A and B are shown apart, each in its own frame.
Chain A
Amino acid sequence: MSVTTETRLQGNMRQIPIVTAPRSTHRGRRRVAISPFTRKILLGASGFIAAALLWEFMRRTGFASPEDFPSFWQILLAAIAGLEGGALAQSIWATLCSWAPGLCLAAVVGISSGTALALVPRLEISTRPILEFLRPIPSVALIPVVLPIFGIGMSLQLFMIAFASVWPILFATKSGVEGIDPRYIETGRMLGLRRVEQIVRIVLPGALPSMATGLRTAASIALVLAITVEILTGQAGIGSFIENVRLNGQVVDMWAAIFVIGGIGFFINAFFLMVERIALPWSPENRAH
């Protein structure tokens, strides 16, 4: 046992000089003290640079034709030009304009039905076969089914976004409500809270952290569905932008749009994380830090 602890200590010792590097005590070579934060940023940047170099390498070696793989610099310029009042910015806006209402719809339906399913066991038991049957059907496969009902347009897109992103919200809400310590509810009942008050003051705050996690998952699913519907039906937005640009052979703009979408997804996720941190200080995820 003691041997193991020693090895562990050694393992930790190796990392310590990085954190508290001595400031140029050696005469010959100066060692610059790098703070952990700068180190993190430098290493992270090196990953991106390595990816860019790999991209260039693939271009130069003829792994794919250079027309299909434009240079990184060109793509970056096209992305900036497209974002500055170009068609790219407009299509992003169009996509977000259907993404947000679709997600809101999913949130309303998912949270209310998730809470209901968790609080009324009989409802949960009797609808379980239907839910378990509907959930694994990939929502993309439903597009041909729903297309004749709604026709091509905003309502089709909203329905698909909401249908696909309702599941993570619903099941996260359900497990969040089910996971509430029954003693809290009993205490509330003992203090004379009515049923509605119990739900508003105990059940919902207790389940909010898992709802937020479900909502964050749903946000990226909703973005995927919004783009998919646009690609398939040609509805205005980033998906149809990519398809049009591809059909016109504007490869640079296509790659620019793809990389910009990654950034948007990243920022949406970061935004939800930030809101969770500010609005839900009691969430176990935030208390862990």
Chain B
Amino acid sequence: MRIDRSIFATILWQTAIIVAIFSLWQWAATAHRLPYLPQLGPIGAGYLRLVSGDLLSEAVLPSLYRLLVGFSIAVVLGSIIGLAIGTVKTLAACLQPLLEYLRFIPAVVILPPAIFLLGPTDGMRIAVIAFGSIFPVLLAAMDGARRVDSLLIDVARVHGLSVPARVFRIVLPAALPQIFAGARVALSIALVMMVLSELIAADNGLGFYILRNQRLFQTANVYAGVLVIGTVGLALTLSLLAVERRVLSWHRGWRGLDTKTS
């Protein structure tokens, strides 16, 4: 009985605060009529238009396409390079200082050279997204491959497994939890790079939509665009978690045996 009551209280508190914020916003918007404080109705209408209306194919889908392609490239390439570096010790010693330096170059500054190297194309935007989000995956894969229990590798060697078999059957599964953790970080960076590349050089996509509406003083649409970006980020994070739960169902962290290994 007590648990029921506490859950009820929780939901009550949460809704109360959300309602309070919404009504405060609406009151401020109607009372002051500031250009940067739109009312809730137009924001909701703009959101619905972006999610289900005519703007879906014009603004949301191009962004989503570039985001997914760039992110997939980053995950695949990052895992391959990271696993290679983590498995071969000499390679790690050679490349680690270089990587330690490269990962501190903010992905943002790669945009200006990318614009004049590749032009304002979809390829440029995908490349920028991939470049920005590759480092978390790469470093995580490297770390994961390095921390593989050496006993497992020795057992595999004793049993005569070839190098590819060792990588695919021992190193990759052992590094997968880390790779997924890296991919989650990479996803948020990919989202940032997507928006940024569209703010600077694009003719469609969510970033462009936001920027254009800001210039036209359609503030409600700007807020709606930001909300859609948040929704996209949330949806992708949740689906990544679902994939992770499926792929890593054998892992201790997901089986609930040990929460410390993540």
Contacts and interface: CB of A to CB of B under 8 A. Distances in A.
Interface stretch (A3-11, A20-28, A182-190, A199-207): A3-11
Q: Classify chain B's interface size.
A: 35 or more
B150 interface: yes
Contacts of A263: 101, 104
B207 interface: yes
Contacts of A136: 188, 191, 230, 233-234, 237
A11, A140, A251, A258: residue with the most chain B Cβ atoms closer than 10 Å: A140
A239 B36 contact: no
B106 interface: yes
Contacts of B94: 43-44, 46-47, 50
Interface string A60-76: 00001000100000000
A255 B113 contact: yes
A137 B226 contact: yes
A112 interface: no
Contacts of A44: 93-94, 96-98
Contacts of A39: 93
Contacts of B148: none
Interface in A137-169: 137-145, 147-149
B144 interface: no
Interface stretch (B10-18, B53-61, B76-84): B10-18
A131 to B, nearest CB: 11
Interface of B is mostly: helix
B35 A148 contact: yes
A269 B110 CA distance: 20
A251 B115 CA distance: 12
Interface of A is mostly: helix
Contact of B226 (A145, A147, A255): A145
Interface string B8-32: 0010011011100100000000000
A8 B90 CA distance: 18
Contacts of B151: 4, 8
Interface string A3-42: 1100110010000000000000000000000000001100
B199 interface: yes
Nearest to A10: B154
A144 B106 contact: no
Contacts of A133: 230
Contacts of A224: 106-108
Given A130-B18, A140-B192, A262-B101, A40 B93 contact: yes
Q: Classify chain A's interface size.
A: 35 or more
B109 A257 contact: yes
A266 B106 contact: no
B165 interface: no
Q: Which 5 A-B pairs have the closest CB atoms?
A: A265-B104, A44-B97, A262-B105, A126-B13, A43-B93
26 contacts: A3-B158, A4-B154, A11-B150, A48-B101, A125-B13, A130-B21, A136-B230, A138-B188, A141-B195, A141-B210, A141-B225, A144-B199, A147-B214, A148-B214, A220-B106, A227-B109, A228-B196, A242-B112, A255-B113, A257-B109, A261-B104, A261-B105, A263-B101, A263-B104, A265-B106, A269-B104
Interface of B: 10, 13-14, 16-18, 21, 35-36, 90, 93-98, 100-102, 104-113, 115-117, 150-151, 154-155, 157-158, 188, 191-192, 195-196, 199-200, 206-207, 210-211, 213-214, 217, 219, 222-223, 225-226, 229-230, 233-234, 237
Given A47-B95, A47-B98, A48-B97, 19 more contacts: A7-B158, A46-B94, A48-B101, A51-B98, A125-B14, A126-B10, A126-B13, A128-B14, A129-B14, A138-B191, A141-B206, A145-B219, A223-B106, A242-B109, A246-B112, A258-B109, A259-B105, A262-B102, A266-B100
